[in-house]
Structure 1
Amino acid sequence: MAFLDALKEQILIGDGAIGTLLYSKGITENCFENLNRTAEEKVYAVHQEYLQAGANVIQTNTYAANSIKLANYGLEHKVAELNRKGVEIAHKAVHNHGAYVLGTVGGITGLQTKNITDEEIQRSFEEQLDILLHAGPDGLLFETFYSLEELKNVITLARKMTDKPIVAQVALGDIGVLYGGTPVNEAFNALIETGADVVGLNCRMGPYHMIRSLEDVPLYQNAFLSCYPNASLPDYEDGRFYYQSNPNYFGENALRFREQGVRLLGGCCGTTPEHIRAMASALKGYKPITVKDIKKKQLIIQVRKNSKDTDKPIDEIAKERTAVIVELDPPKQLHVNKFLDGAKALHEAGVDAVTLADNSLASPRVDNMALGAMMQSQVGARPLVHLTCRDRNLIGLQSHLMGLHTLGMNQVLAVTGDPTKVGDFPGASSVYDLTSFDLISLIKQLNEGISFSGKSLGQQADFTVGAAFNPNVRSLEKAVVRMEKKIAAGADYFMTQPVYCEQQIIDVYEATKHINKPIYLGIMPLTSSRNAEFLHNEVPGIKLTDEIRRKMAACGEDKEKAEIEGINIAKSLIDTAVQYFNGIYLITPFLRYEMTVVLTQYIYEQVGYNPSSLQNQI
């Protein structure tokens, strides 16, 4: 049966990642496409693993086998050999499996400006397509295209060369939109009009965000839908990227992808044969849907208000009473009124500081120094500014810190920062001139009036430096060792990632009770079952208990009920946390500051502290 005829009748299962799977096996080849000629057996083995897991659509190992990308490795003269071998290996692998082979072509234009002309890009695609098509795949797979125009151009070029099926997949810029703001549905329509037979999404995001992005996409009369999500957001440790191992989660979400009308379902970065096996098993016996109900979603925000602040350093407050700091993420858009409303509400609820992340998840947001200054002057709330090693070199880091000092913002959190691969500009460079240990030490050096370079600053800075502590790890002992090293570097206090288990709170206390620095235990209220599953399966360093996931799942699609349940779960965690820790770090989900206002008030009620009473002010 031909590929498109099969899609009319069934949901086909694609394979998963090739490059990250080879990488996880310890293969450190800089150009994985080069393995087609230097280690053919390794590529063949990967194809076999996916086929045995249940894949019936295999992509060739030719994603970056074009002259422009191969030139980075001095292999631009190997375009013909690598593409021919890629198709040949895939055909050899599917022999007797009855699977389809798609010749893979990846996008060239990234998010960084490079001196490559449109003519050079066109020639590069034309060369690769000509070789692939002569090698005889069952169709073409265009994937991870950040530029809609580039993808349309490639489809137009391919349609002049072949009538074989074309699968065209774009990378999301944010939920439901491409880079530049084009809605997914609008982009898909344009790709279909250009000649694509299958349109879809791949890379950049995991199942949660991709499913949300497909919810407003209809079923098309003249094309099918595909989706190849990442395993999770990547984590970065010891110079290597890691992805969550979550095959069961992929199996559960396979049915949700079916509900969105997906007929070709595979995996991208971080996915393994186990992910594919879980999806294939979950979808066994299910036919594609033929009717889809499109529902638009709305976000409802409520506002509450109350009380006061203090000027004492963050570490000192938690030594004398229960202190509360609340994270409020700077917005991705230029509208800041909602953020300032949230900061005001939290300030009036009595929080001791409002923390501002530094381009969290490697996505650009309104600069936290600017927002901190506005918040400080217009609202009266004290900013606790996060500072990452990712975005600035040594020069930029010192300049930023000098600016914070000048503005009177002396509470900072020094962190490594999520890798750029996570965020909106995956082609951007991660600087990482310093580790978080180095940054803590150098900030303390500024407190001595000494520049990073060793020169005098003319006066001393007065920074209180927080550090991150991740209790959601396999070895809590090793995490505590890192904590002790940060103390040696000069850390004054710690803020943890969110914890979702009462027993874990006790375990963290037992493991850290010898530490003489305050610890602000992280608690983030859940907003829905999908939010819970996303955090559990796709965000590195966060795990939820089965009980919490069941409670959130029981709320179904009732948003109000889910929010109440999320607050109740957080209150239960707070009841335990305040018995062991004097610092509570509330993390506001999706700018829903009304939730963290309620939790702030609850904390103060539990410990008998009235932030509006003068005798309680430190």
Structure 2
Amino acid sequence: MSRLLERLKTDILVADGAMGTLLYADGLEACHEYYNISHPEKIISIHRAYIAAGADVIQTNTYAAKRHRLKGFGYDHKVEEINREAVALARQAAGDDLFVLGTIGASRGLKQCDLTLDEIVSETVEQAKILLETRQIDGLLLETYYDLDELIAALKALRPLTDLPIITNMALYEAGITESGRPLVEAFSHLVMLGADIVGLNCHLGPYHMIQSFKQVPLFAQSYLSAYPNASLLSFSNDDEKGHYSFSQNADYFERCAKLFVEEGVRLIGGCCGTTPDHIKALKRGIRGLKPIEKKVTLPPADPEEPIFETEKKESLVDKVKREVTIIAEIDPPKTLAIDKFVEGVKALDKKEIAAITLADNSLARTRICNLSMASLMKEEVETPFLLHIACRDHNMIGLQSRLLGMDILGFDHVLAITGDPSKIGDFPGATSVYDATSFKLLNLIKQLNQGKGYSGASLKKATHFTVAAAFNPNVKNLSRTSRLIDKKVAAGADYFITQPVFNAKTIVGLKEVTQNYEQPFFIGIMPITSYNNAVFLHNEVPGIELSEEFLARLEKVKDDKEICQELALAESKRLIDSALESFNGIYLITPFMRYDLTADLIDYIHEKSMTIQEKRA
């Protein structure tokens, strides 16, 4: 048995507190881990401060020292040097008597990680091997894992690499339940079976909610419990020009909480965000004279509340388009409060017997009236369902879930999940693009809401019933290479796809080849061109859009006769529709410049074509 586990058999050990909190206090706002190389004296002084406060266990300054995390600062070529130096500094401060843990932080969390799980595990293994090869650590600490799947995958990959203790610290949004909604005791039990020597919690929660979480966790025969709570909830002060975030200065509170952690069976107690050497000193005082408990009565985990599903299942767009030719039509919400033309357009489209009217969410980062507000305004005046776009650009995770729940309450259950064009291309180029999530994470969130669980894993007490589309851009140089992107969106939860507008038949043929093996339907985007100048702009200035030279030449010949030019452009749209209907049931019409008359003309054309198609199939 390792020296660390031998001590934990009989003693409660105190771990260190936050590294980042003290570095921020010192003015560092860049890469914490690079300080192992650039300012080693600062790192070692923090280690020594925690040791002087009473820490028996310290961790290396390597939380974000994986390759992809360092790449964001331009230091990915120094991944080995940064990790090795971190171990050397920690061991220099700890000497031979105290314990040093090699820290590896999670990749998935609130901020989007674009790596696949296999890629994350590969980088985790790379970092772990560097830490282990130093032969100067007493164990590996995996911390701040919100995503249980990531933690399980990491543990499975690392367990065969070492006999040293592995500590798995999860982070929770809600006390007692994981992000996926599983009871904490189930998650811990799984980790114990996979070989975790110590299982515990760190970050996000303060002592109170963390202690409540441990009340449902039993003592495991082969593993110990750990706790690294935050100092408190984070507060924001704007008493200066910049404003700043801070945690409560509550070290004495930690002294009182230490005994409560021990009563729940915790044997390794440290601190996370906001904690300082004063908090660790308080923990040391709090455990003085205490020994680990051997027996414990647990509270049963709260039964996950079963979501209430509607008994009557309505036909979705997916059901309809699999059976017959189906049309959805987009009309942009207005930019100003003069909404009469928009209202007129929606009512005109509503009369055309289409499956949905779609409203974009500030497309091209151009400010328009909120699509949810416009749909709510028109809901009682039209029968056609609204399909609302929702862009990650303009909403953080709080706003995304809030907006989706609001949509469900109002009865809007068709959604297009998009990442959104960056703000810098729109009419407020200085505005911030949020991007807490990309479309992949948004798709996941919507599917979780459909299971009756929020992003935190907590029960919503009722399930939403969204049918969710994903966007797809076929206007790329090599369409055959887009299957991987489609696969990722399907895995994330896409029920069907809506494409960007297509302007040549070759793209439709290529799209058929790419999509023929997918169960998820595709709606082919068609946007009628309004003039020769419109065509020239699209062809030359919009990335990925390419019109045929022959079509441009025909438009140029009649560019001064608006009526003939429009007839020619509509004929081209109908030709593309003909091509699309040879292979696809779904057509997505995009109304240009509020010209809903053009969209209405194309709807009539598709209805005529669909009757012919149905007769042939019959």
Instruction: Report the TM-score, using the length of structure 1 for normalisation.
Output: 0.49
Instruction: Report the TM-score, using the length of structure 2 for normalisation.
Output: 0.49
